[in-house]
Amino acid sequence: MAMAGSEIKSEIKPPLWLLAELTYRCPLQCPYCSNPLEIAKYKDELSTEDWVRVMQQARKMGAAQLGFSGGEPLVRQDLEELIQEARRLGFYTNLITSSVGMDEARIKRFKDAGLDHIQISFQASNEELNNYLGGTKSFEHKKEMARIVKEYEYPMVLNIVIHRKNIDQIRDILDMTVELNADYVELASTQYYGWSRINVDQLLPTRAQLANAEKVAMEYQERLKGKSRIIYVVPDYFETRPKPCMNGWGAIFLTIAPDGTALPCHEAGQLPIEFPNVRDHSIDHIWNDSEGFNHFRGFDWMKEPCRSCPEKTKDFGGCRCQAFMMTGDPANADPVCDKSPYHQDLVDDVNRIEKMATSGKPEEQPILFRNMKNSKELMEKTPAEV
Amino acid sequence: MTETIDKNAIPEIAPTFRFQWEEAQDCYVVLYPEGMVKLSTSAGEILQRVNGHNSIQAIVDMLREAFPGADLEDDVIKFLEVAYGNGWIRNKK
């Protein structure tokens, strides 16, 4: 048994990516936020010393990419200190931000601390929609920050989450990213987790919108070759095979939530699985030995149709969270796969939303913004009501 | 990549990329936003010498000295073309 155990362990490759969700506090209220609905309960954030320890341990194991994320990581007053330590350890440091809470002085301090890259999110290509979706007046500030980020010679990624409310502006969005000299553009189709799952009726694009967006994205990809890389992520609800979620469970990604919970992906906290906390365990133990990180490693956990599927080594059965949300069992095949007995339910749901979106009738349900007040109200409801 | 390489040019790692040794990967890597390319041993040897001081000719000469007997000039130029093409390196102004 000891032999077998050590053999299994030797197959586990070290984490490459450390995502540090420093806080769930955020000045924006984007209704498609991928943070958990329970953001209001994360009051006890890790200290600077905790984060330094986590970074040191993860780097020692081989993690090379580090993302400072949130919520809005700029809210943390110790961000400069954390960047400096991360860079000293040899991480490639990514700041994933709305830029609200940043100014030129801070951009300079980040540069001096060794920050490698800044990713700024935009909600839309015009002030009105941007500020409506973000729930704050931030559009002009974001553009100004993007200009200064390039002045300081950072590589810059502009990330725009795409959904029904902004997808028809895709040409204007891409023109804006050209004007701002983005090195990379991520047109990230909304993935329906957390807040976006609640708002899926208001956010899911129609097939016609998607076809147009894909055409425009490809046109710009061709035109901007060598200048800017445009990454267009298609929403998986319209696919027939699932995405290889996180490149496999516990294979590359290590997310640490603001309270120190270690997760194989930033959505996994919703699963009925116990995940370890960095306050109690080392990253080595968490990654290699914890039950949570080993739960869906390999292929033994799979059920049919995944178990006997020749494609299981390619997509790992898709997303565990999506399987859980749509079937109640995270070990089921991701219903995006048309081999899943639940696939038709997903198709029906997509058709229902499409019918509603193209009916021309006003939306029945208001969009629910991501903020602490709404989070508290949601937590007071029973899960069945949500 | 259409222009021919000037051997007197002095390349440097572009500020939007980082080149470093990764112990866990046991190789040199190029890091960029949210990504990493693992380099072959020879690619690592070449990029190590790209530092904003050495000309391309000097890099070729250094590699010839380090690996005597190897006919490497074409391979070095070919790799540098790829590196320019990917934006990993640029000429020092």
Q: Which of B15, B17, B36 sits opposite A64 (nearest CB)?
A: B36
Q: How many CA atoms lie within 13 Å of A163's alpha carbon, on the beta-carbon side?
A: 24
Question: For residue range A173-190, what is the model confidence (pLDDT) as tens digits?
Answer: 999 999 999 999 999 999
Q: State the pLDDT at residue A364.
A: 74
The count of CB pairs under 8 A between chains A and B is 46
Question: For residue range B36-83, what is the model confidence (pLDDT) as tens digits?
Answer: 999 999 999 999 999 999 999 999 999 999 998 878 899 999 999 999
pLDDT above 90 for B1: no
| d(CA A96, nearest CA chain B) in Å | 10
Residues 6 or more apart from A33 whose CB is under 8 A from it? A26, A194, A195, A196, A370
What SS3 string covers chain A?
Answer: CHHHHHHHHHHCCCCCEEEEECCCCCCCCCCCCCCCCCHHHCCCCCCHHHHHHHHHHHHHHCCCEEEEECCCHHHCCCHHHHHHHHHHHCCEEEEEECCCCCCHHHHHHHHHHCCCEEEEEECCCCHHHHHHHHCCCCHHHHHHHHHHHHHCCCCEEEEEEECCCCHHHHHHHHHHHHHCCCCEEEEEECCCCHHHHHCHHHHCCCHHHHHHHHHHHHHHHHHCCCCCEEEEECCHHHCCCCCCHHHCCCCCEEEECCCCEEECCCCHHHCCCCCCECCCCCHHHHHHCCHHHHCCCCCCCCCCCCCCCCCHHHHCCCCHHHHHHHHCCCCCCCCCCCCCCCHHHHHHHHHHHHHHHHCCCCCCCCCCCCCHHHHHHHHHCCCCCC
Q: State the pLDDT at residue B2.
A: 44
Q: State the pLDDT at residue A370.
A: 95
Q: Is A92 on the interface with B (CB under 8 A)?
A: yes
Q: What are phi and psi of A191, to 5 degrees?
A: -105, 140
| d(CA A61, nearest CA chain B) in Å | 7
Q: State the pLDDT at residue A1.
A: 37
Asked if B36's CB is within 8 angstroms of A92's CB, the reply is yes
Q: Is A65 on the interface with B (CB under 8 A)?
A: yes
Hey, is B47 helix, strand or coil?
A: helix
Q: Is A90 on the interface with B (CB under 8 A)?
A: yes
Q: Is A119 on the interface with B (CB under 8 A)?
A: yes
Residues counted in chain A? 386
Query: Would you state the structure tokens that stand for residue A351, as one six-digit string?
Result: 């058709």
| Cα dihedral A246/A249/A252/A254 (nearest 10) | 90
The ranges of chain A with pLDDT < 50 are: 1-9, 386
Q: What are phi and psi of A335, to 5 degrees?
A: -65, -10
Asked if B18's CB is within 8 angstroms of A116's CB, the reply is yes
Average model confidence (pLDDT) for chain B? 91
Residues of B in contact with A153 (CB under 8 A): 15-16
Question: For residue range A186-228, what is the model confidence (pLDDT) as tens digits?
Answer: 999 999 999 999 999 999 999 999 999 999 999 999 999 878 8
Q: State the pLDDT at residue A285.
A: 98
CA pseudo-torsion sign A53, A59, A61, A65: positive
Q: Which residue of B has its CA nearest to A119?
A: B33
Q: Which value does ipTM take for this structure?
A: 0.86
Q: Is B22 on the interface with A (CB under 8 A)?
A: yes
